[in-house]
Structure 1
């Protein structure tokens, strides 16, 4: 009898922190597209500010997300090969077609919806704002039919993003925690938590005077229902996801118990925020920032655990295989850089939003 030792050479993780950033921002974008469509269809009951926050969450995420993806591809020029060597049987190749279409439709939807706000900038005392007003491309009025058509197309395109990003991780059969229906479903439902978190952050950035009567009860209702439903579904899916690993029980590991416990607490916190949302004034910036921070951390950490931490579980032999977050552009600096880019775009876009009272919010703003 002979014994053969098999040694595996050290390998870099397949998915880098850049991938976490991509799935985080693009997930919030397609979830915000769905929420924006709902808020626009019921625009007689929702405020312009909530709709603006959702449409900007969608468009900014659709711009920042693909930039993070190029970082995960290690070099921006590598993305070009997806188009010169198109392979329809590859979900990643299909994503190279779905992604730019969704990004373009998201920016177009945001531009159409915010044209009235951009036109108002021509009355500003700032010369820069007056020049920005030229991006309205004239004083023609956007019709309701145009707005609904483009928004529906953007939602459908967003669903293709949800499909391909979920399929990308589901097809990896060597990772049982990825190759299961609970994984893409968990990503999908928590994307709405991220969308609400970014929308609340934008509401805190908008130049809305305190007690301006700018929000409606339907605004609070939409935030409450979206956050509550998403957090409850995520809390149900998490133990189902964690149990689907036949070779390694997550509940036998102290580290994984801490991770799963932290995620469970974050979902409970989001449920608490949702139940408390109807009592929060949406012009109260400190409260908005706290609610936003909890929601965003919950959404981001879920993706970190399910992408990065899962890769530390050995496939064939015994671990552990710890992962240390680099401080450079492939790690912490990249995370902060993407967050800074999102915030910079949000600050710039928030200055476009015209201050309106509740009386003007519910008036038809688009031509029929």
Structure 2
């Protein structure tokens, strides 16, 4: 009997941390599109602030996500190869068609919804705000039919993103933890946790007065139901996903038990903040930041475990194949860079809301001054 040892040459990891960032931001974008459609249909019960947070989560994620994808392709020019060499049988090639369409529709939806807010900036004393008001492109009113039509198209386009992002990893048969229906379903349901997390972060950035009755009970109900249902479904799908690996049992590895336990705890934490959502004031910034951090960490860490850590499992021989996160642009710096870009765009959008709030107050002051100047002569004449 001959014994043959198989030695595998060291090879670079296939999916870089850039891919985690892409799935993270683009997932929150299409989930926010669905939540925004629901909030707009029931706009008589939801607040403008929550709808603005959701539509900005959708549009910002639709911009930041594709940029992270070009980083995973190692150079932006490689994206052009998808269009010069179309392969319709490839999910990644189809994604090159789905992604620009979704990004364009997401930005169009956000622009249509925020047009009235942008137009009000012309009353501001700030010169930059007045120039920004020109982006409203006229004084015409956005109708409800236009908004619902564009939002429905955006949601349908977002579902194509969910389909292709799940399918392009599902087709990798050499990875049993990817090649199973539970994997794309797990990414889909947790995308709503990320969307709520980003929306809560935007609400914390908005200049909402503490005593203003800006939110409704339906706002809290939407946040509660979205978080609770997503976390429960994720907690059900996680053990199903972990069990579908015939060659390697995750439950026999101490490292994987820690990862799976951490994910389970994060899902329970999301359920906890969902149950407390009805008791939390949405204008309380510290509470919003805590809820946002728990949701975003849960969503991001699930993608890190299911994409990056899965690649450390040996395909043929016995491992281990540890992965160390580099400090450069392909690792920690890239993660911080994408987070900084998202935050910068969010701050810019929230500043527009802040300028609008100031402009509305300035208009009220002007009106009060005019009323006082008109009433003063009348009062003097009456005295005479």
Q: Which residue number corresponds to residue 301 of structure 1?
A: 301
- Give the alignment's Cα RMSD to 1 decimal: 1.0
Aligned residue number for residue 98 of structure 2: 98
Aligned counterpart, 2:70: 70
Deviation string, structure 1 residues 242-290 (Cα, Å, up to 9, x no partner): 0000111000000000000000000000000000000000000000000
SS of 1:129 mapped into structure 2: helix
SS in 2 for 1:352: helix
What is the distance in 1 between the residues matched to 2:173 and 2:204? Answer: 43
Residue 351 of structure 1 aligns to a residue whose secondary structure is helix
Instruction: Quote how far apart the aligned CAs of 1:125 are.
Output: 1.2
1:304-324 deviation per Cα after TM superposition (whole angstroms, max 9, x unaligned): 000000000000110000000
The corresponding residue for 2:146 is 146
Cα offset, 1:6, TM superposition: 2.3
Structure 2 unaligned blocks of 5 or more: 361-384
Provide, for residues 110-158 of structure 1, a one-character-per-residue CA deviation record: whole Å limited to 9, x for no partner.
Answer: 0000001100111111111110111111111111110100000000000
1:11 match: 11
**Equivalents in 1 of 2:249, 2:337: separation in Å?**
35
User: For each residue in 1:198-256, what CA deviation from the matched residue of structure 2 results, as whole angstroms up to 9, or x when unmatched?
Assistant: 00000000011112110000000000000000000000000000000011100000000
Shift of 1:3: 3.2
Instruction: State the alpha-carbon separation in 1 of the partners of residues 125 and 255 from structure 2.
Output: 57
| Aligned twin of 2:160 | 160
**Cα distance in 2 between the residues matched to 1:74 and 1:51:** 36
Give the distance between the partners of 1:231 and 1:180, measured in 2 at CA: 20
The corresponding residue for 1:50 is 50
Tell me the distance in 2 between the aligned counterparts of 1:3 and 1:265.
Answer: 45
Whether the aligned pair in 1 keeps the contact of 2:7 and 2:317 (CA below 8 Å) is: no
Query: Following TM superposition, by how much is the alpha carbon of 1:355 offset from its aligned partner in structure 2, in angstroms?
Result: 4.0
1:308 aligns to what SS in structure 2? helix
Q: What is the CA deviation profile of residues 149-199 of structure 1, one whole-angstrom value per residue up to 9, with x for unaligned ones?
A: 000000000000000000011100000000000000000000000000000
What SS does the aligned partner of 1:21 have? helix
Matches of 1:237 and 1:130 in 2, distance apart?
50
Secondary structure, in 3 states, of the residue corresponding to 1:321?
Answer: coil
TM-score by length of 2: 0.92
Aligned residues: 357
Check the 8 A contact 2:17/2:331 in 1, yes or no: yes
Matched, 1:172 2:193: no
Structure 2 equivalent of residue 86 of structure 1 = 86
CA contact (8 A) 2:190 2:299 kept: yes
Q: d(CA) in 2 for partners of 1:188 and 1:7?
A: 37
Structure of larger gyration radius: 2
Structure 2 Cα separation of the partners of residues 225 and 169 of structure 1: 29
**How far has the Cα of 1:2 moved from its partner?**
3.5
Alignment of 1:104-253 (within 5 A): 104-253=104-253
Aligned counterparts of 1:65 and 1:153: Cα–Cα separation in 2: 19
What is the match of residue 37 of structure 1? 37
- Alpha carbons 2:6, 2:317 under 8 Å: kept: no
Mapped to 2, the partners of 1:79 and 1:336 lie a distance apart of 23
Inter-partner Cα distance in structure 2 for 1:186 and 1:20: 14
CA distance in structure 2 between the aligned counterparts of 1:235 and 1:303, rounded to whole angstroms: 14
- Are the aligned partners of 2:8 and 2:317 in contact in 1 as well (CA < 8 Å)? no
Structure 2 distance, partners of 1:2, 1:208, is: 75
The structure in which a higher percent of residues are helix is 2
Q: Distance in 2 between matches of 1:115 and 1:351?
A: 15
Q: Distance in 1 between matches of 2:39 and 2:357?
A: 19
